């Protein structure tokens, strides 16, 4: 889902959304923390950092994101968790200039999240981050339909491991459109590595690169075959995205525009026998015809919105059977998003529930912005942006899952296909609050000492409306 947020300060009142959702746990300063558990988490996730000082400052930065109330500037993070007079400078250096690779950290983070949560899907979400000026890496002007205006922004594409309760970010790409893909001077100024994956091409290509990266990073067998859920209409070419997922043999639930032309594979309501299997029809019209069928049971005023599904459809050039899924209200009518999926072997209600996980990624991005410093970073350099996003993701994951015990591995059924796997033959073989900001005084050589308090995690009950992430008023990290 493309998350665009209106210029609303954190904590302000927002209207209720039309689609209820279980919000990810929210971190709040002033709650007790299991210090040994946090230390073990940081030691595991950041184990691959080559130098001891990098691992130490990763610990300080991550803990600062958890315990610092309000804006997460580097100076405030340092003051919250260290008595060193040079901590702020060291943190700035660690994020912006220290040469460490973020992908191994994300791989360890993804495995940790899988062990703690047993995710149901890999959800792709997009965050629009308004910026001032033209110095931030990837900054460009973009019309945001959800906000109804054009903004100067960065666009981050995130991969989230989603359960019914928690959706944790485990991978990111920074969208680099137009000159940022080709202009050597711009790329050199932002330190974009030549040949770095996901730094060139259209949005759908960068989304597919992110899916590939998440697939490499998530090595736990419990996450094998997770379907990809993506609501990127208006941002990526959904037909190209579907084709790329099919070529990768990744199962998926992808939102599509209503005017997408599909080919019904067999007769259904609103399609005559002569049209079935041959004549093209718009997705909106085909789904509406199916949803127009009288419900099997009389609806009640308290009826819960469920999904309706068409029969099998096909897309030109896509060698697998597909199905359209859409919402059905209490009166049986359609409306809202339309989803295209290759999960034709799964019940429509299950597929509809899987599609609903897309709202979790949008909710998580709100929390990352409000509580974890997502917007408190200017992101002038490509490595700095990725370092910051990795540290924010780690802080969120621990805040959401650090106090939970790993779930027991589910028993495998001796019959039927594994979850997330196509049945045989289903696929073609084709392709505490602090004072004023500022570092606490202390010995310049002293080690950073973390605060003894960190957040707990209440949940929000509903998705906030679409809004554009507010532009930071001041940043100390660039």
Q: What is the 8-class DSSP label of residue 295?
A: P
- Residue 463 CB coordination number (10 Å): 22
In the predicted structure, residue 108 carries a pLDDT above the cut 50: yes
Number of H helices, E strands in the chain: 13, 14
3-state SS, residue 92 = helix
**How many residues in the chain?**
478
371: nearest Cα among 476, 456, 280 = 456
- The 10s digit of each residue's pLDDT in 25-79 is 333 333 445 688 999 999 999 999 999 999 999 999 999 999 998 888 899 999 9
**Pick from 1-10, 14-23, 39-48: least confident:** 14-23
- The 10s digit of each residue's pLDDT in 427-458 is 433 333 333 333 333 333 344 443 333 443 33
In the predicted structure, residue 423 carries a pLDDT above the cut 50: no
Q: In this predicted model, which residue has the larger pLDDT, 332 or 131?
A: 131
340: nearest Cα among 360, 318, 359 = 318
- Calculate mean pLDDT across residues 234-257: 93
Helix (H) / strand (E) containing 323? strand 322-328
Q: What is the 8-class DSSP label of residue 428?
A: -
- Calculate mean pLDDT across residues 183-211: 88
Residue 197 Cα to chain centre, angstroms: 18
Q: Which residues, 6 or more positions from 262, have their beta carbon under 8 angstroms from its beta carbon?
A: 280, 281, 282, 283, 286, 313, 314, 315, 322, 324, 340
97: nearest Cα among 454, 441, 384, 418 = 384
Using the structure block, give the residue that is written with the tokens 């990352």.
368
Quote the pLDDT of residue 416. 40
pTM of the model: 0.76
241: nearest Cα among 217, 206, 213 = 206
- Residue 475 CB coordination number (10 Å): 19
Average pLDDT, the chain: 76
178: nearest Cα among 139, 206, 222 = 139
Quote the pLDDT of residue 405. 63
In the predicted structure, residue 1 carries a pLDDT above the cut 60: no
Q: Which residues, 6 or more positions from 427, have their beta carbon under 8 angstroms from its beta carbon?
A: 249, 320, 342
Q: Which residues, 6 or more positions from 338, have their beta carbon under 8 angstroms from its beta carbon?
A: 255, 256, 257, 258, 260, 283, 284, 287, 324, 325, 326
Structure tokens at 263: 């080919």
3-state SS, residue 402 = coil
Q: Which residues, 6 or more positions from 317, have their beta carbon under 8 angstroms from its beta carbon?
A: 243
CB 69, CB 436: distance < 8 Å? no
Q: Rounded to an integer, what distance in angstroms lies between the CA atom of residue 300 and that of residue 315? A: 36
CB 318, CB 242: distance < 8 Å? yes
Res. 270 pLDDT band, cuts 50 70 90: very low
- Residue 51 CB coordination number (10 Å): 11
Strands 121-130 and 2-3: parallel
Quote the pLDDT of residue 297. 55
Q: Rounded to an integer, what distance in angstroms lies between the CA atom of residue 55 and that of residue 400? A: 22
């Amino acid at each position: 889902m493309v998350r665009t947020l209106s210029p609303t300060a954190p904590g302000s009142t927002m209207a209720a959304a039309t689609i209820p959702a279980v919000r990810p746990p929210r971190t709040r300063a002033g709650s007790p923390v299991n210090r040994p558990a946090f230390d073990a988490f940081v030691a595991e996730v950041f184990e691959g950092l080559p130098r001891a000082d990098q691992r130490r400052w990763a610990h300080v930065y991550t803990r600062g994101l958890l315990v610092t109330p309000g804006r997460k500037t580097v100076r405030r993070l340092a003051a919250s968790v260290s008595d060193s007079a040079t901590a702020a400078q060291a943190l700035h250096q660690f994020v912006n200039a220290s040469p460490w690779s973020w992908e191994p950290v994300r791989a360890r983070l993804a495995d940790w999240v899988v062990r703690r949560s047993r995710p149901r899907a890999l959800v792709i979400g997009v965050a629009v981050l308004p910026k001032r000026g033209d110095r931030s890496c990837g900054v460009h002007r973009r019309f945001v339909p959800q906000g109804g205006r054009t903004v100067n922004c960065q666009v981050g594409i995130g991969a989230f491991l989603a359960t019914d309760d928690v959706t944790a970010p485990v991978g990111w790409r920074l969208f680099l459109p137009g000159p940022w893909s080709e202009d050597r001077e711009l790329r050199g100024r932002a330190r974009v590595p030549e040949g770095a994956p996901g730094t060139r091409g259209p949005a759908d290509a960068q989304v597919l690169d992110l899916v590939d990266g998440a697939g490499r990073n998530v090595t736990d067998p419990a996450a094998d075959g997770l379907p990809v859920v993506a609501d990127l209409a208006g941002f990526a070419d959904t037909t190209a995205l579907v084709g790329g997922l099919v070529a990768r043999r990744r199962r998926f639930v992808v939102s599509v525009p209503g005017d997408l032309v599909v080919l019904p594979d067999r007769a259904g309501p609103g399609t005559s026998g002569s049209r079935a299997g041959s004549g093209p029809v718009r997705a909106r019209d085909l789904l509406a015809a199916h949803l127009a069928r009288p419900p099997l049971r009389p609806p009640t005023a308290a009826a819960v919105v469920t999904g309706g599904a068409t029969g099998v459809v096909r897309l030109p050039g896509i060698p697998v059977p597909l199905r359209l899924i859409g919402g059905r209200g209490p009166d049986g009518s359609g409306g809202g998003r339309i989803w295209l999926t290759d999960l034709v072997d799964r019940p429509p209600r299950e597929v509809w529930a899987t599609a609903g996980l897309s709202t979790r990624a949008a909710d998580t991005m709100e929390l990352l912005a409000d509580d974890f410093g997502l917007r408190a970073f200017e992101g002038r350099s490509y490595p700095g942006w990725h370092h910051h996003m990795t540290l924010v993701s780690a802080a969120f994951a621990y805040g959401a899952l650090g106090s939970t015990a790993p779930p027991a591995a589910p028993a495998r059924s001796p019959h039927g296909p594994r979850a997330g796997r196509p049945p045989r033959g289903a696929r073609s073989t084709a392709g505490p609050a602090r004072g004023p900001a500022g570092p606490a005084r202390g010995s310049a050589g002293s080690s950073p000492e973390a605060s003894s308090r960190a957040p707990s995690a209440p949940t929000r009950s509903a998705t906030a409306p679409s809004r554009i992430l507010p532009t930071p008023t001041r940043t100390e990290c660039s």
